[in-house]
Structure 1
């Protein structure tokens, strides 16, 4: 590849990292909060609210059931309202975040439900307040699984960022479409694929190692 294309590849890589990184911060807090609410508001939970739980669960399932490419188009008015544009890195952050948050929320919910009911009951018997049960029992016990789930979510967000390139979101997906596909530049396409593979492998390795550390420390 030419020097110009190498520079374009580097810039696309940075755009993808920024796109996924900014979305990941929002997804971590929003998804974890949703997961906690789905667990604690369920019937028999420490903040039992079955009706609110059912409504939120239905909304989460609805967003999870919508393919990302359809959600990407459906959210164009909201994206324009929030960012003032429908193209570029900032515009891609909106649909990526909205798509990944319910996905991560369900993964976090599964990890939180794996915490034994006996552990929670023991904490209640010792007089722990509900917020203490959340921050000192549920989250610490479930964190290895949550980290593993968040790693999977990050990989899915990288895939979504590549698809967002189809509508001019920038990043590696946009570069692959504009040069690798539309201009039949096989070298650019292979380079983008190689960078994505390396990026995913690095994220998966770091996530697995950290989850292992939390589980066996």
Structure 2
């Protein structure tokens, strides 16, 4: 599989919308936690649907006993995410949720996305995961790019992110090793299903 720089990927995005008509071209950006998906997707300068907007609420995760592994594949509303992608692919307008990291919660009805846009980017961890309902995502995407970054750099970024949002160094390090690392293993297994590998900056 071809691997390109993030600069080449950004230049490539302008050619993608020419491949479909009557609906948006749906481009997926995927990779393990801390690789820089949100930053990269924002740099593409196109409307953005974030998978993180479909996090289940903390209160519901508490009821499920799953809050201590928030971010795992089964802690998202995957059916809602797939349904929204399907509506966009059919050319319908939607109002999507977004995830607020400071609140650690999804905000409903926050992001209007037009079904007449030429291209919409969606980014998240499990776009190439075949299990638990996630297998419905890949057929809806026209192309998927997998971001890569050395694990040491990625984990350092994750620890810093968790600390910014209130965890101690020990708590942040434990979360990265015990939760983020398990999720990264699931995500990495789907890398071969991507159309392109992109070296993250």
Could you say whether these structures have the same fold, taking a TM-score greater than 0.5 normalized by the shorter chain as the test? Answer: no
Instruction: Identify the structure with the greater strand proportion.
Output: 2
Instruction: Identify the structure with the greater helix proportion.
Output: 1
TM-score norm. by structure 1 comes to 0.30
Q: Which has the higher contact order (CA 8 A, sep 6+)?
A: 2
Work out which of the two has the higher radius of gyration on C-alpha atoms and give 1 or 2: 1
